[in-house]
Structure 1
Amino acid sequence: MIGPSSSHTAGAAKIASVGRKIAGRGFYRVDFDLHGSFASTYQGHGTDKALVAGIIGLDPSDEKIRDSFELAKKMNLDIHFHLKDLGDVHPNTVQIRLTYPGKIVSITGSSIGGGNILITQVDGVEMEYTMEYPLVIFQYTDCRGIISKITGYFSEHGYNIETIKTVRKDKEVSLLIELNKNIKEEALEELKEKHIFKKIMYIGKRSI
């Protein structure tokens, strides 16, 4: 860990790492909107290096965090930092915008102390995700019976659902499910093969 504060380094790296995990690879530009104390101390406390490290896939304990800017440059990533008031949120909050050909994906997260984080927004979907459990996000056009099919699949394959939440915008649905254990890769691939979903995003409990 670099810098004097785990909230500003380990937590920041974890938020960015979650962003990379959720959004997937293939982005060529990253914009970090820094709020509160992140905005006022990001250079002196090493938050900037930690965020870049997380977005390029480095572990929060990796010594190469100090060289994250150089590593990002070698990967041809266009990195930008902005100071921004994100409203009534935790002082250590960052919104990350990842630009791909033809789309932008955003993730908002807060470093809440001791290296712990809270993800509050993914691609416009509001949440309060603490990483206590593995999370699966299903995005699809509303259709009768989909939720029962998903929950039935998990039950049949030995997964317990800890929490479930739906976010609807017109006919588009984001279904957030926290599970009692990580999903096996083959199960995740089987779910992705079901053409009813526009997108499936997954964060394993120990993936960050």
Structure 2
Amino acid sequence: MKYRTVFDIIGPVMIGPSSSHTAGAARIGRTARTIFGRIPKQIMITLYGSFAKTYRGHGTDIALVGGLLDFDTYDERMPQSLKMAAEAGIHVRFVESEERTEHPNTARIHLSDERGKLEVVGISIGGGKVEIVELNGFELKLSGNAPTLLVLHKDQFGAVADVATILAKHQINIGYMQVARKEKGLEALMSIETDQSLSEELLQEIRQKSGMYAVTLLNN
């Protein structure tokens, strides 16, 4: 295994006790919060594998909710996240599943409010690193190690070309791209990791193209 930096070895700055069960969980929650775009009113979190067995003792519940409140891994408010969510009128429910998953540290997060719903599946792969492997039923693989553009759009001719053209105009290089759809002609999802950061101007250009439903940027 290769390490890119010393922080891959010693782990992230965090509120403990575990980089996998707390720091990783917090990052899964915070990524879901970023995609949702706001603080949810209802949170249902289904836990699998070791997450389901040890989440209370390892603080995984606290970390996931802290991330959903937009707390970073080292935020001193993290231990109070469940209390703060309750005080804010957010309904939080945890479900322990016995279903077997590919990775033992897996969480399925369902967020909702009067404006909409979101379902995200994330895994904590160790050292505070995470992957988002499902978004509203779309399979994907987000590492969070690079700026990532998520574009939910109508499955139609020219949609991918429109986004690629705008990125090229702004001299943005694509490091990794994935396109998925559930059914021909309905919704599709583009996941694009880039080598450069993306401006709000660029995001607005994409939003103005025909058939674009939602455009979200995840920064590492």
TM-score, normalised relative to structure 1:
0.92
Match of 2:50 in 1: 37
Tell me the distance in 2 between the aligned counterparts of 1:184 and 1:132. Answer: 18
Match of 1:174 in 2: 189
Q: Residue type of the partner of 1:161? A: I
Match of 1:183 in 2: 198
| Alignment match of 1:66 (pick from 74, 79, 104) | 79
Tell me the distance in 2 between the aligned counterparts of 1:126 and 1:161. Answer: 19
When structure 1 is superposed on structure 2, of 100-109 and 33-42 the one drifting more is 100-109
Q: Which runs of 5+ in 1 are unaligned?
A: none
Tell me the distance in 2 between the aligned counterparts of 1:136 and 1:2. Answer: 29
When structure 1 is superposed on structure 2, of 193-202 and 11-20 the one drifting more is 193-202
Q: Residue type of the partner of 1:180? A: D
Tell me the distance in 1 between the aligned counterparts of 2:145 and 2:115. Answer: 33
Tell me the distance in 1 between the aligned counterparts of 2:115 and 2:70. Answer: 23
Deviation (angstroms), 1:26 = 5.0
Deviation (angstroms), 1:84 = 1.2
Tell me the distance in 2 between the aligned counterparts of 1:140 and 1:128. Answer: 18
When structure 1 is superposed on structure 2, of 170-179 and 151-160 the one drifting more is 170-179
Are the structure 2 counterparts of residues 57 and 73 from structure 1 closer, same or farther at C-alpha, using a change threshold of 3 Å? same
Secondary structure (helix, strand or coil) at the match of 2:130 reads strand
1:1-208 → structure 2 map (5 Å cutoff): 1-25=14-38, 27-101=40-114, 103-170=116-183, 171=185, 172-205=187-220
Tell me the distance in 1 between the aligned counterparts of 2:210 and 2:159. Answer: 12
The question of whether the paired residues in 2 share the 8 Å contact of 1:28 and 1:99 is answered with yes
Secondary structure (helix, strand or coil) at the match of 1:120 reads strand
Number of aligned positions between the proteins: 205
Q: Which runs of 5+ in 2 are unaligned?
A: 1-13
Deviation (angstroms), 1:180 = 0.9
TM-score, normalised relative to structure 2:
0.88
Q: Which runs of 4+ in 1 moved over 4 A?
A: none
Secondary structure (helix, strand or coil) at the match of 1:63 reads coil
Deviation (angstroms), 1:102 = 6.1
Are the structure 2 counterparts of residues 120 and 78 from structure 1 closer, same or farther at C-alpha, using a change threshold of 3 Å? same
When structure 1 is superposed on structure 2, of 114-123 and 163-172 the one drifting more is 163-172
Root mean square deviation of aligned Cα: 1.5
The question of whether the paired residues in 1 share the 8 Å contact of 2:48 and 2:101 is answered with no
The question of whether the paired residues in 1 share the 8 Å contact of 2:172 and 2:195 is answered with yes
Deviation (angstroms), 1:76 = 1.2
Tell me the distance in 2 between the aligned counterparts of 1:92 and 1:44. Answer: 14
